[in-house]
Amino acid sequence: MTPPFNRRKFLEGSAGVAAAATLGPAATIWAPAVHAQTLTLKPEKDAKLRVLRWSRFVQGDIDAYMVNVKKFTEKTGVEVRVDNEGWEDVRPKAAVAANTGAGPDIILSTNDDANLYPDKLLDVTDVAEYIGKKYGGWYPACMAFLRPDGKKWLGVPLGAAGAMLVYRESQVKAAGFDTFPKDNDNFLKLMKALHAKGTPGGMALGNATGDGLWCNWLIWSHGGQLVDANNKVVIDSLQTMKALEYGKELYSTFVPGTLSWLDPNNNKAFLDGQISITNNGISIYYATKNSPDAKLKEMAADIQHAPYPIGPVGTATESHLFFNQMVMKYTKYPNAAKAFLQFMMEQDQFGAWLTGAGAYIATPLDGYAKLPIWTIDPKNTPYRDAVKNLRPAGYAGKLGYASAGAAADFIVVNMVAEAISGSKTPKEAMERAQKRAERYYKV
Amino acid sequence: MLDKLQNSRNALGLIFMLPAAVLLLLFLTYPLGLGVWLGFTDAKVGRPGEWIGLENYIFLATDSVTQLALFNTLFYTTVASVLKFFLGLWLALLLNKNLRFKSFFRAVILLPYIVPTALSAIAFWWIFDAQFSIISWALMKMGLIDKYIDFLGEPWNARFSVIAANVWRGVPFVAITLLAGLQTISPSYYEASAIDGATPWQQFRHVTLPLLTPIIAVVMTFSVLFTFTNFQLIYVITRGGPLNATHLMATLSFQRAISGGALGEGAAISIAMVPFLLGAILFSYFGLQRRAWQQGGADK
């Protein structure tokens, strides 16, 4: 099976990256030669914009975002109204707006949304290419989500809420590991050691939309996948079987109750000191670091982050919540909307936003990986590469209604939960998942 | 012409009924009709669908998750409704007695019903939490258990936990309505039966129960309808987990239609609930509202 994209493919045709190769990494975002291309978008007279975005996960995100919005209005005179909705509510609203031709001009959506109604979105190739070339090139996942035909950009990538392994350094050391394991075998050994020491870890196995994504890593890292490149459902496979067997061993080390865990449960358990390791965004660390509680502040010093280990496939196979910026075709102010996205993605604004959000959002551009936010606190660094190592949830197939529906119906999460908890045999769980997924991918 | 209209009983009747008819058509008939139509299409959120006949229903009949959701819904509704009925009736009988602080107790009883569902659901989510459950904590402190109870992580535990939350929330409605019914029963019946030497049980069986059946029929019809279509409690506490063990038809319909975008399939799940709801209503009408029962007699 050849993946539809890889690290190398994205380098092709990317002038910014070519320049980076010549000038060295540090020069990527600073070099005037790379800045040479310009894009001037003149907003329409009396333009006004409405932006619908997902509600912030950390307060610093929306604060910094609104500062940038204000700067844009001051610079261009374009009034911008920003509405916030829970991220899961943005999807149906965006779909209805796209198909009724009325609603916000710009929508910040998630995952495969742009692939649900590509013909209802404004072509933003000029902005995406300009930004991509200027800031070191987009990571491959951005192309998979937003440039599915290899030519036209359906939206401008914004980044991803990275989910990494969040752990207590002292407990991992006490379990006999001076460094965090980089491969699946040693990761399992660590989890077993933590369990034996009475400081177990735990990851969500309930219908958790965000924190259940670790199940994709489990399957992918062993070579399993829901569908192949032709959207044929192939989850019932030897690779998936191996993943589930590995998962069973992993599950035996978990703290009790993870089958019921929804998105907030692991945060609560970690902050209460009941688990030593879990998968999460940087929000746990953010909460402890900014807490007035001395105990939590103390915990912040002990928190460390690590990327998911590499499985038998030998490459990173991470699953994160990806963010898009879509301009709706019905907008009366296409230039203003594109100018807004361009402005927000420029380094002065984007860098400030990433910093304000405390590294919650991972960069979609290679050039922004050099921003100080990723190294100013070494605990931020693992989150930097979330988009770089990201696979879309519909991997390795095409994105659209089928991939969105299968993910929302928790097919993979349910399969993993059934098999590793022993409620079904791995074979039964795979067969059930295969049948359920075939329904979504039948068209 | 206007005079003629004003003097016509039929025309006036029609005009007076029109606002209600428009409201019913607009907010009840149209959405229901649209739901039925969508169930026969492959509509996605924001994308009109094409007619696919019974395909959604044929798939759902063989879909293991839908089958489980149907079982969960029937189990949840039956157990919760029965518990709500007996607890509600018991509370109503207690509150109907001349207790001290009667008004206070009657007000307190209503509290669970007044609290917004989403808030009480969050409270139960904490109460049943695998790590922070106050029940487990208390039992541990008393030395009755040696590890926390996995209320929401084990399928049967989870089913009973959400039923408990539903019963807690639904009992006040049944209790207060039955209490209102009890107060309409004339004390003279009890006096007469007491003179005839009836025991309290005989009074309850032959006076209270027959006279209360019309109210019971209405209350239980509504209670069953509310329980069968319950959404908020499940969505907040378990989201249908673990392993889909608490997914009800309503939550599954939402998951497929809105989160998953399969509007047609989600509508079909909702419409598939209608026959069961109709069954509950028919049972109430033809079962509980039999006149013979209400007059203290037996079925003919």
Of A95, A117, A258, nearest to B153 by CB-CB distance is A258
Q: In this structure, are residues A303 and A285 in contact, taking their beta carbons and an 8 Å threshold?
A: yes
Nearest chain B residue to A420 by CA distance is B243
Please give, rounded to a whole number of angstroms, the shortest distance from the CA of B244 to a CA of chain A: 8
CB-based contact (8 Å) between B238 and chain A? yes
What value, to the nearest 5°, has the Cα angle with vertex B81 and ends B77 and B82? 120
Please give, rounded to a whole number of angstroms, the shortest distance from the CA of A428 to a CA of chain B: 12
Nearest chain A residue to B259 by CA distance is A408
Query: Between chains, do A206 and B239 touch, taking CB under 8 Å as contact?
Result: yes
Query: Between chains, do B46 and A262 touch, taking CB under 8 Å as contact?
Result: no
> Which residues of chain B have a CB within 8 Å of the CB of A435?
64
Percent of chain B surpassing pLDDT 70: 95
> Which residues of chain A have a CB within 8 Å of the CB of B153?
206, 256-261
> Which residues of chain B have a CB within 8 Å of the CB of A96?
45-46
Which segment of A125-129, A331-335, B160-164, B200-204 scores lowest on mean pLDDT?
B200-204
Amino acid, res. B196? D
**C-beta atoms surrounding A412 within 10 Å:** 27
CB-based contact (8 Å) between B155 and chain A? yes
Token pair for A155: 């939206």
The answer, yes or no, to whether residue A369 has pLDDT greater than 80, is yes
Please give, rounded to a whole number of angstroms, the shortest distance from the CA of B7 to a CA of chain A: 47
Query: Between chains, do B243 and A404 touch, taking CB under 8 Å as contact?
Result: no
Integer CA distances (angstroms), A137 to A9, A19, A23, A339, A385, in order: 11, 10, 14, 19, 14
User: Which residue in B42, B45, B140, B258 has the most chain A C-beta atoms within 10 A of its own C-beta, making it the best mutation to test that interface?
Assistant: B45
Between A342 and B288, residue with greater pLDDT: A342
> Which residues of chain B have a CB within 8 Å of the CB of A269?
131
Nearest chain A residue to B153 by CA distance is A260
CB-based contact (8 Å) between B162 and chain A? no
Report the pLDDT value the prediction gives residue A12, as an integer from 0 to 100: 40
CB-based contact (8 Å) between B152 and chain A? yes
User: Which residue in B41, B42, B44 has the most chain A C-beta atoms within 10 A of its own C-beta, making it the best mutation to test that interface?
Assistant: B44
- In chain B, the N- to C-terminal Cα span, in Å, equals 55
Query: Between chains, do B131 and A257 touch, taking CB under 8 Å as contact?
Result: yes
Give the whole-angstrom CA distance, residue B232 versus residue A387.
34
Query: Between chains, do B260 and A414 touch, taking CB under 8 Å as contact?
Result: no
Nearest chain A residue to B42 by CA distance is A443
Pairing of strands A277-280, A164-168: antiparallel
User: Which residue in B251, B259, B269 has the most chain A C-beta atoms within 10 A of its own C-beta, making it the best mutation to test that interface?
Assistant: B259
Give the whole-angstrom CA distance, residue A109 versus residue A183.
33
The answer, yes or no, to whether residue A1 has pLDDT greater than 50, is no
> Which residues of chain A have a CB within 8 Å of the CB of B131?
255, 257, 265, 268-269, 272, 274
Query: Between chains, do A95 and B129 touch, taking CB under 8 Å as contact?
Result: no
**Partners of residue A278 on adjacent β-strands:** A166
Give the whole-angstrom CA distance, residue A411 versus residue A437.
7
ipTM (interface pTM):
0.84
CATH topology of domain B53-294: MetI-like fold (1.10.3720)
> Which residues of chain A have a CB within 8 Å of the CB of B256?
405, 408-409
Query: Between chains, do B132 and A268 touch, taking CB under 8 Å as contact?
Result: yes
Token pair for A240: 């998936």
A121 closest CA partner among A152, A90, A92: A152
CB-based contact (8 Å) between B264 and chain A? no
Give the whole-angstrom CA distance, residue A233 versus residue A252.
29
Integer CA distances (angstroms), B14 to A86, B1, B9, B19, in order: 46, 16, 8, 10
Give the whole-angstrom CA distance, residue A297 versus residue A38.
45
Pairing of strands A106-110, A48-54: parallel
Give the whole-angstrom CA distance, residue B65 versus residue B60.
9
Query: Between chains, do B131 and A404 touch, taking CB under 8 Å as contact?
Result: no
pLDDT band per the 50, 70, 90 thresholds, residue A18: very low
- CATH class belonging to A9-162+320-378: alpha beta
Q: In this structure, are residues A54 and A87 in contact, taking their beta carbons and an 8 Å threshold?
A: yes
User: Which residue in A113, A117, A199, A207 has the most chain B C-beta atoms within 10 A of its own C-beta, making it the best mutation to test that interface?
Assistant: A207
Pairing of strands A277-280, A106-110: unpaired
> Which residues of chain A have a CB within 8 Å of the CB of B267?
none
Q: How many CA atoms lie within 13 A of A208 on its CB side?
A: 25
**C-beta atoms surrounding A45 within 10 Å:** 8
Classify residue B133 by burial, with Cβ atoms within 10 Å: 0-12, 13-18, 19+: buried
CB within 8 Å of chain A, chain B residues 128-147: 129-132, 147
Give the whole-angstrom CA distance, residue B131 versus residue B152.
11
The answer, yes or no, to whether residue A35 has pLDDT greater than 50, is no
**C-beta atoms surrounding B282 within 10 Å:** 11
The answer, yes or no, to whether residue A30 has pLDDT greater than 50, is no
Token pair for A334: 């296409």
Q: ω before A396 within 30° of 0 (cis)?
A: yes
Query: Between chains, do B129 and A98 touch, taking CB under 8 Å as contact?
Result: no
Amino acid, res. A375? T
Which segment of A326-340, A359-373, B283-297 scores lowest on mean pLDDT?
B283-297
Q: Mean pLDDT throughout A11-23?
A: 39
SS3 B20: helix
Give tens-digit pLDDT for A173-197. 999 999 999 999 999 999 999 999 9
Report the pLDDT value the prediction gives residue A10, as an integer from 0 to 100: 42
Report the pLDDT value the prediction gives residue B60, as an integer from 0 to 100: 95
Give the whole-angstrom CA distance, residue A264 versus residue A279.
11
Nearest chain A residue to B122 by CA distance is A264
How does the average pLDDT of chain A come out, rounded?
A: 91
Query: Between chains, do B242 and A206 touch, taking CB under 8 Å as contact?
Result: yes
Query: Which distant-in-sequence residues (6+ apart) come within 8 Å of A151 by Cβ?
Result: A125
What value, to the nearest 5°, has the Cα angle with vertex B58 and ends B56 and B63? 90
Of A98, A260, A418, nearest to B152 by CB-CB distance is A260
Q: In this structure, are residues A181 and A187 in contact, taking their beta carbons and an 8 Å threshold?
A: yes
- Side by side, the strands of the sheet bearing A277-280 are A277-280, A164-168, A303-306
Q: In this structure, are residues A253 and A191 in contact, taking their beta carbons and an 8 Å threshold?
A: yes
Integer CA distances (angstroms), A321 to A142, A228, B270, in order: 12, 21, 30
- In chain A, the N- to C-terminal Cα span, in Å, equals 22
CB-based contact (8 Å) between B55 and chain A? no
B202 closest CA partner among B296, B288, B293, B292: B296
Query: Between chains, do A439 and B147 touch, taking CB under 8 Å as contact?
Result: no
Domain A164-318+409-440 architecture: 3-Layer(aba) Sandwich (3.40)
The full set of domain ranges for chain B reads 1-39, 53-294
Query: Between chains, do A257 and B130 touch, taking CB under 8 Å as contact?
Result: yes
Report the pLDDT value the prediction gives residue B37, as an integer from 0 to 100: 96
Which pTM was predicted? 0.87
Nearest chain A residue to B150 by CA distance is A257
CB-based contact (8 Å) between B64 and chain A? yes
> Which residues of chain B have a CB within 8 Å of the CB of A262?
238-239, 241
Query: Between chains, do A256 and B46 touch, taking CB under 8 Å as contact?
Result: no
Query: CB pairs below 8 Å between A and B: how many?
Result: 129
> Which residues of chain B have a CB within 8 Å of the CB of A404?
260-261
Give the whole-angstrom CA distance, residue A264 versus residue A210.
10
Give the whole-angstrom CA distance, residue A265 versus residue A103.
35
Token pair for B258: 């809105």
CB-based contact (8 Å) between B240 and chain A? yes
Give tens-digit pLDDT for A135-177. 999 999 999 999 999 999 999 999 999 999 999 999 999 999 9
Query: Which distant-in-sequence residues (6+ apart) come within 8 Å of A304 by Cβ?
Result: A166, A167, A168, A169, A172, A180, A379
SS3 A138: strand
Pairing of strands A277-280, A48-54: unpaired
Nearest chain A residue to B133 by CA distance is A257
Token pair for A69: 């919005």
The full set of domain ranges for chain A reads 9-162+320-378, 164-318+409-440
| Residue B27 DSSP class | I
Query: Between chains, do B130 and A439 touch, taking CB under 8 Å as contact?
Result: no
* Alpha-helical runs (H) found in chain B: 2-7, 9-24, 30-39, 55-62, 64-95, 102-109, 111-114, 117-127, 134-141, 155-182, 187-195, 200-203, 209-228, 232-237, 249-254, 263-283, 291-294
Q: Mean pLDDT throughout A231-237?
A: 97
The secondary structure of A139-156 as a DSSP string is -HHHHHHH-TTSS--SSE
Intervals of chain B under pLDDT 50: none
**Range A244-247, long-range pairs (CB < 8 A, 24+ positions):** A244/A415, A244/A416, A244/A419, A244/A420, A244/A426, A244/A429, A244/A430, A245/A426, A246/A184, A246/A188, A246/A218, A246/A222, A247/A218, A247/A416, A247/A419, A247/A420
Q: Is A214 left (phi over 0), alpha (psi -120 to 50) or beta?
A: alpha
Percent of chain A surpassing pLDDT 70: 91
Give the whole-angstrom CA distance, residue A143 versus residue B139.
54
Report the pLDDT value the prediction gives residue A27, as an integer from 0 to 100: 38
| Residue A364 DSSP class | S
CB-based contact (8 Å) between B259 and chain A? yes
Nearest chain A residue to B59 by CA distance is A439
